[in-house]
């Protein structure tokens, strides 16, 4: 199995690159964001490789970092997500952005990837939610609050404050993060108006 390739860019295709490694040209499929970040033909590059072996073919998928490759693997553990959809997601979101979207249950961000509908986005955030925090720097308290808001488990003033910010045009992940910070500074007894005021200050930073 090939885990890494080091060589020179030979040429580009629509969704792949030909990598010349010691005189052998490897066809490596890449996400659009990866292709845009690669150097010009003739220049050196190193790619982390995921090898898929099928009865009738061997396909190589290339990534700029091992973390991207790990996300490629993780995404494919989700029902209905194959290599094509996983590459589409990674072509739309950086690993940190994807981790944050999953942790905050931001299905809209994941749905921006071509070929990813609401049902698939829902499965991604649901099935990977316990793995995403390991890849993101978001405060765990914010992640917990976002989940509580999503499932209507949070205290009523918190739910009301998040709802008010959403009505003002903020996305639920941003609203949850702002109210989580407001709740930490104001304490458990804060009412909705106080949380809203503090939440707006957080968003204005």
Cα(168)–Cα(190) distance, rounded to whole angstroms? 20
Please give the backbone phi and psi of residue 155, each rounded to the nearest 5 degrees, phi first: -55, 150
pTM over 0.85: no
Give the model confidence (pLDDT) of 15-60 as tens digits: 999 999 999 999 999 999 999 999 999 999 999 999 999 888 899 9
Q: Does residue 95 carry a pLDDT above 80? A: yes
Cα(46)–Cα(84) distance, rounded to whole angstroms? 22
Residue 117 DSSP code: -
Q: What is the mean pLDDT of residues 90-110?
A: 87
Within 10 Å of residue 169's Cβ, how many Cβ atoms? 8
Residue 61: pLDDT band with limits 50, 70, 90 = very high
What pLDDT score was predicted for residue 23? 92
Bridge partners, residue 45, by sequence: 7
Q: What is the mean pLDDT of residues 88-117?
A: 90
Q: Does residue 149 carry a pLDDT above 70? A: no
Q: Which CATH superfamily is domain 4-63 in?
A: Nucleic acid-binding proteins (2.40.50.140)
Class of domain 66-135: mainly alpha
The residue extents of the domains of the chain are 4-63, 66-135, 140-204
Give the model confidence (pLDDT) of 166-197 as tens digits: 888 887 777 887 888 888 788 778 898 988 99
Q: Does residue 202 carry a pLDDT above 90? A: no
Taking each continuous run of H as one helix and of E as one strand, the counts in the chain are 10, 5
Q: Which of 7-11, 110-114, 135-139 has the weakest average pLDDT? A: 135-139
Cα(75)–Cα(116) distance, rounded to whole angstroms? 12
What pLDDT score was predicted for residue 133? 59
């Amino acid at each position: 199995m090939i885990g890494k390739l080091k060589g020179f860019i030979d040429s580009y295709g629509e969704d792949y690159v030909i990598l010349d490694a010691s005189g052998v040209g490897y066809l490596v499929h890449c996400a659009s964001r990866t292709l845009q970040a690669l150097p010009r033909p003739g220049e050196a590059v190193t790619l982390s490789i995921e090898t898929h072996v099928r009865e009738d073919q061997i396909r190589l998928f290339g990534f700029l970092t091992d973390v991207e490759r790990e996300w490629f693997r993780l995404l494919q553990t989700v029902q209905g997500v194959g290599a094509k959809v996983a590459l589409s997601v990674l072509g739309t979101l950086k690993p940190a952005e994807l981790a944050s979207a999953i942790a905050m249950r931001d299905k809209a961000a994941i749905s921006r990837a071509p070929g990813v509908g609401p049902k698939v986005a829902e499965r991604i955030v649901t099935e990977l939610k316990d793995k995403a925090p390991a890849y993101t720097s978001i405060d765990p308290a914010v992640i917990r609050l976002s989940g509580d808001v999503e499932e209507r488990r949070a205290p009523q003033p918190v739910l009301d404050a998040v709802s008010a910010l959403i009505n003002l045009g903020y996305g639920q992940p941003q609203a949850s993060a702002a109210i989580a910070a407001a709740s930490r500074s104001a304490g458990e007894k804060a009412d909705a108006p106080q949380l809203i005021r503090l939440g707006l200050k957080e968003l204005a930073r």
